[in-house]
């Protein structure tokens, strides 16, 4: 078994139009790639680490500034980097959720949110989605009432997704926050598909925690992410160590328990930081991304039998499609069966659709050029007509 020998160079995003639902927001910028090369070595950012010896205090490279800037960019008071959004969920749960506490999630919560709750012994309770696959404040209120009534305990935290991973739908964040706060329940905003993709203002949303993913949505290497919070909760979530060596009397200064001290050294923090100026700009061009997304979804909708399961009009580039009455009908008799679709796309230089998927699947057009959007739209239409499906306009 020779691992290194088996590593093929990956050129997916250089050689093809990638529409993979989870990959497109995490492709590196050229500046991130340069930083990755310069800071590849393990503890590369620690050259100038001085008292008080914590990653987020390092001034050169300007990691301290980066932390401050992230907090203000999200309209929050404090921010820390973490190895992925999931580690942000875990950190918040560690601070707020005790064994046996009910915690509110949604019917569209990601599995990592459930694991965060499970990691500290919390009991996940879901808010149901409505017929449009959206999470509403009314449903949140009902769920909170139900949990308090049935379990005799106020939930210690409420998770809600800015945009969920299944439909790419937006939810009633502001209104849900208001409801949760009326019960004194803090709100965690899962920004895995929004922070770094579209403008996010934590204060305007009224949430207590904003979690973001570097490798999913901030053009950063994995694993990377952030957890931002308000002054009200910073001391709880970023509590510093209080233990002492009983024989040596050692204490450990300002190291934060839930962060496990220093978090993202080297390549991850530097990649995230180098992409950040570009990320700040790209969120302001969100309308252009939506326009490109609509070019592709319009093409898909024009294929007979195809429906979009996400909310319409699209307000995100991640979209859930139902092609059971179109491409899957083709698959039933095609000699390549379900693989005909990914195979045909692949021949046209489009990748990221799970091979074999022709029923319900997802795509994400984020970061395409306008020409690529039009090409992708044409490709879907062409594959449809080649396989005997008719097009409307």
Span of 23-31, 172-180, 284-292, 314-322 interacting with a second copy by CB under 8 A: 23-31
Nearer to a second copy, 192 or 377 (CB): 192
**Residue range at the interface with a second copy (CB under 8 A); choices 125-133, 154-162, 169-177, 291-299:** 125-133
Which span sits near a second copy by CB under 8 A: 122-130, 173-181, 186-194, 309-317?
A: 122-130
DSSP 242-265: ----TTT----TT-BTTTTS----
Q: Which of 233, 152, 150, 140 is nearest to 182 (CA)?
A: 140
Number of residues that bind a second copy (CB under 8 A): 105
Q: Of 343-372, which residues contact a second copy (CB under 8 A)?
A: 351
Could you tell me the smallest distance in angstroms from the CB atom of residue 30 to a second copy?
10
CA 132 to CA 130: how far, in whole Å?
5
| Residue 102 near residue 155, CB atoms below 8 Å | yes
Q: Given candidates 96, 105, 157, 187, which one binds a second copy under the rule CB under 8 A?
A: 105
Question: Is residue 4 a contact point for a second copy (CB under 8 A)?
Answer: yes
* Least distance (Å) between residue 95 CB and a second copy: 11
Q: What does the alpha-carbon distance between residue 81 and residue 310 come to, in Å, rounded to a whole number?
A: 31
Which helix (H) or strand (E) segment holds residue 292: the answer is: helix 286-301
Q: Which stretch binds a second copy (CB under 8 A): 252-260, 331-339, 342-350, 372-380?
A: 252-260
CB atoms within 10 A of CB 224: 26
Residue 3 contacts a second copy per CB under 8 A: yes
Task: Tell whether residue 274 is among the known ligand binding residues.
Answer: no
**Residues ≥6 apart with Cβ < 8 Å to 198:** 283, 286, 289, 316
- How many CB atoms sit inside 10 A of residue 215's CB? 25
E runs forming strands in 57-143:
78-82, 102-106, 123-127
Interaction of residue 264 with a second copy, rule CB under 8 A = yes
The tokens describing 234, both together, are 């910073």
If binding is defined by CB under 8 A, does position 254 make contact with a second copy?
Answer: no
Q: For residues 240 and 302, which CB has a smaller minimum distance to a second copy in the complex?
A: 240
Tell me: does residue 114 bind a second copy (CB under 8 A).
yes
Q: For residues 264 and 379, which CB has a smaller minimum distance to a second copy in the complex?
A: 264
CB of 160 to a second copy, least distance (A): 15
Tokens found for residue 192: 């895995």
Instruction: Name beta bridge partners: 225.
Output: 82, 213
The candidate with the shortest Cα–Cα distance to 205, out of 194, 189, 221, 193, is 189
318 binds a second copy (CB under 8 A): no
Q: Could you tell me the two tokens for 381? A: 């239409």
Chain residues 272-311 in contact with a second copy, contact rule CB under 8 A: 273-278
- Of 15, 204, 260, 370, the one binding a second copy by CB under 8 A: 260
Alpha-carbon dihedral of residues 96, 102, 108, 109, nearest 10 degrees?
A: 30
Contact 215, 222 (CB under 8 A): yes
User: Is residue 247 near a second copy by the rule CB under 8 A?
Assistant: yes
Stretch that binds a second copy, among 178-186, 235-243, 301-309, 333-341 (CB under 8 A): 235-243
Contacts (CB under 8 A) with a second copy, residues 188-227: 214-216, 219-224
By CB under 8 A, which span of 10-18, 181-189, 305-313, 357-365 interacts with a second copy?
10-18
Q: How many whole angstroms separate alpha carbon 213 and alpha carbon 110?
A: 13
Whichever of 75 and 302 has its CB closer to a second copy, that residue is: 75
Determine contact, residues 135/172, Cβ cutoff 8 Å: yes
Beta bridge partners of 213: 225
Binding mask 43-82 toward a second copy (x if CB under 8 A, else -) reads: xx-xx------------xxx--xx-xx-------------
Residues annotated within a binding site for pyridoxal 5'-phosphate: 85-86, 190, 213-215
């Amino acid at each position: 078994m020779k691992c290194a020998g088996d590593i093929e160079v990956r050129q997916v995003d250089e050689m093809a139009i990638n529409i993979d639902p989870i990959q497109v927001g995490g492709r590196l910028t050229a500046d991130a790639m340069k930083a990755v090369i310069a800071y590849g070595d393990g503890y590369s950012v620690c050259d100038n680490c001085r008292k008080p010896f914590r990653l987020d205090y390092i001034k050169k490279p300007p990691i301290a500034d980066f932390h401050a800037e992230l907090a203000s960019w999200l309209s929050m008071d404090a921010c820390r980097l973490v190895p992925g959004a999931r580690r942000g969920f875990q950190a918040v749960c560690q601070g707020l959720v005790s064994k046996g506490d009910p915690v509110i999630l949604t019917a569209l919560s990601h599995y990592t949110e459930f694991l965060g709750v499970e990691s500290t012994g919390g009991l996940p309770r879901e808010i149901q989605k409505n017929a449009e696959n959206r999470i509403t404040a009314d449903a949140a209120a009902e769920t909170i009432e139900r949990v308090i009534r049935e379990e005799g305990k106020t939930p210690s935290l409420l998770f809600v997704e800015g945009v969920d991973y299944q439909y790419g739908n937006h939810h009633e964040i502001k209104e849900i926050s208001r409801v949760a706060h009326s019960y004194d329940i803090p709100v965690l905003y899962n920004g895995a598909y929004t922070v770094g993709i579209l403008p996010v203002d934590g204060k305007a949303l009224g949430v207590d925690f904003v979690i973001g993913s570097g490798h999913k949505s901030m053009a950063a290497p994995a694993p990377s992410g952030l957890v931002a919070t308000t002054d009200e909760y910073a001391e709880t979530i970023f509590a510093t160590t209080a233990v002492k060596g009983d024989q040596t009397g050692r204490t450990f200064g300002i190291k934060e328990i839930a962060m496990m001290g220093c978090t993202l050294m080297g390549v991850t923090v530097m990649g995230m930081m180098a992409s950040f100026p570009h990320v700040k700009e790209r969120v302001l061009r969100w309308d252009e991304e939506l326009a490109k997304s609509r070019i592709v979804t319009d093409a898909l909708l024009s294929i007979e039998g195809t429906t979009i399961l996400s909310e319409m009009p699209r307000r995100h580039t991640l979209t859930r499609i139902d092609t059971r009455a179109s491409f899957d009908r083709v698959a039933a008799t095609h000699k390549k069966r379900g693989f005909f679709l990914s195979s045909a796309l692949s021949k046209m230089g489009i990748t990221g659709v799970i091979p074999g998927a022709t029923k319900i699947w997802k795509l994400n057009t984020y970061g395409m050029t306008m020409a690529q959007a039009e090409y992708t739209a044409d490709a879907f239409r062409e594959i449809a007509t080649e396989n005997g499906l008719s097009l409307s306009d």
